[in-house]
Amino acid sequence: MDTAAQTRVLDEAVYQYSTLTAADQLERLTKVVSSGALGAIAGDHVREFEQQVAGYLGRQGAVATSSASAALELLLRCLSQREAAERVVVPEVCWISVPTAVLRSGRTPVIAPATSDLTPHWEQIEPLLDERTTVVILAHLRGRPAPDTQRITDELAQRGVTLIEDCAQGWGTTLDKQPVGGRGVAAVFSTETHKLVATGEGGIIATDDSHLLDGLRAVGGNTRIALPENAGGRGNDRMSEITAASALPQLTHLNALRQTLRPLQDKLIGLLQDVPEVRSVLPTAIGKSPNLDAEESNGSLVGVWLPTPGHANRVADHLFRLGVRHWWPGPGDPHLAMNWPGTPSTASLVDMACYLDIQVPVLDESRHPAFLDLIRSALRLDNHGSESA
């Protein structure tokens, strides 16, 4: 495909999914600004967003915050510390604010190594548990569920260890046909710019614990609710009405967005699974692997493991120059534990520099073949442009 044709395909591709509901967002935003009720206590949109998220997840309630990082810090502040030197197991691959929140809460992060699906399984978590371990944070990454979630949930429950689900990247993701975020004591979601519900910044905590909900609201800044006993003070972590007004139409549109993305995602999976140089593809084709097939993903990404870091680096560079949205966890990436200051190192099971994923755009079906040709070219895997890793 020539450069002009590639440019035309990408000109038509919608990567920022939030723009698909721009009209509905603007209608709500206009009402908020016109009313003057910009704060969560005076307005209705934050309350509605919390109720909608709780209903979507099947949770008792939810508390919306200014960011997912603020949400996790607030949640850890509101969980009582049972040990003088508590340890929290965190995954090797997650955003840097996760171990930072643990450190700021006075606890010590312990790193659970990632597997080839980017998440730790029970076999990686169990050896890290001791009498000081009170919390495990499990992340659902890249629009896919952590496949060993149910076993981890059951094992931790037997041991009295709290599970927190990091669902920052999990909007629209399911596990056993149910949205992720329904198994831990609490789940944290993000509405940062690159999420399927995107408001620039924002977060939300969902839980079934009514006492925890009250504590989150009080410590997070709702002065109408009394602080819990032994609370370390009251902050201001609340989401604004403007942010909630932007999020609500996107939440309503979430299932439709998944269905819009799925056909191109399936075609991209099929293309990549037939390429000899690709070691494995995530998610897998439907029906091929329980909890990792495309039906459980949110449709937004397809990941590949390539033979070497150099191969992955070259592909990522080509995608960048083309303007194709992707993620390659190369040197210095803040998603990787090796780049977190103040946290202990861990022996990695996989070389994350061999992984990259490609975002699935919203694109007219007639343009799917051209997009797939572009990706094939970027991987240098066509018959005339093959390159050794």
Q: Which helix (H) or strand (E) holds 134?
A: strand 133-139
Evaluate if residue 287 carries a pLDDT over 70.
Answer: no
Which ranges of 13-164 would DSSP assign to H, the alpha helix? 22-35, 45-57, 68-78, 97-104, 122-125, 149-159
Residue, of 386 and 88, whose pLDDT is higher: 88
- In this predicted structure, the answer to whether residue 1 has a pLDDT above a threshold of 60 is no
How high is the pLDDT of residue 387? 42
Per residue in 105-144, pLDDT tens?
Answer: 999 999 999 999 999 999 999 999 999 999 999 999 999 9
Amino acid at 379: L
Q: How far, in Å, CA of 385 to CA of 158, rounded?
A: 54
Q: Tell me the pLDDT tens digit for each residue of 269-285.
A: 999 998 888 999 999 86
For residue 388, give every residue at least 6 positions away whose Cβ sits within 8 Å of its Cβ, in sequence order, or none.
none
Mean pLDDT over each residue of the chain, to the nearest integer:
93
Give the integer Cα–Cα distance in Å for 275 and 368.
18
Cis peptide before 283 (omega within 30 of 0): yes
Fold that domain 3-17+256-378 belongs to in CATH: Aspartate Aminotransferase, domain 1 (3.90.1150)
Which of the two residues, 111 and 289, has the higher pLDDT score? 111
Mean pLDDT of all residues in 232-250: 96
* Strand bridging mode 133-139 / 203-207: unpaired
- The domains of the chain are located at 3-17+256-378, 19-252
Calculate the CA 374 to chain-centre distance: 26
Q: In the CATH scheme, what is the code of domain 19-252?
A: 3.40.640.10
Q: pLDDT confidence of 67, banded at 50, 70, 90?
A: very high
Q: CA dihedral in degrees (138, 182, 199, 34; nearest 10)?
A: -150
Mean pLDDT of 9-24: 97
For residue 373, is pLDDT > 60? yes
Q: Which of 9-18, 26-35, 335-344, 379-388 has the lowest mean pLDDT?
A: 379-388
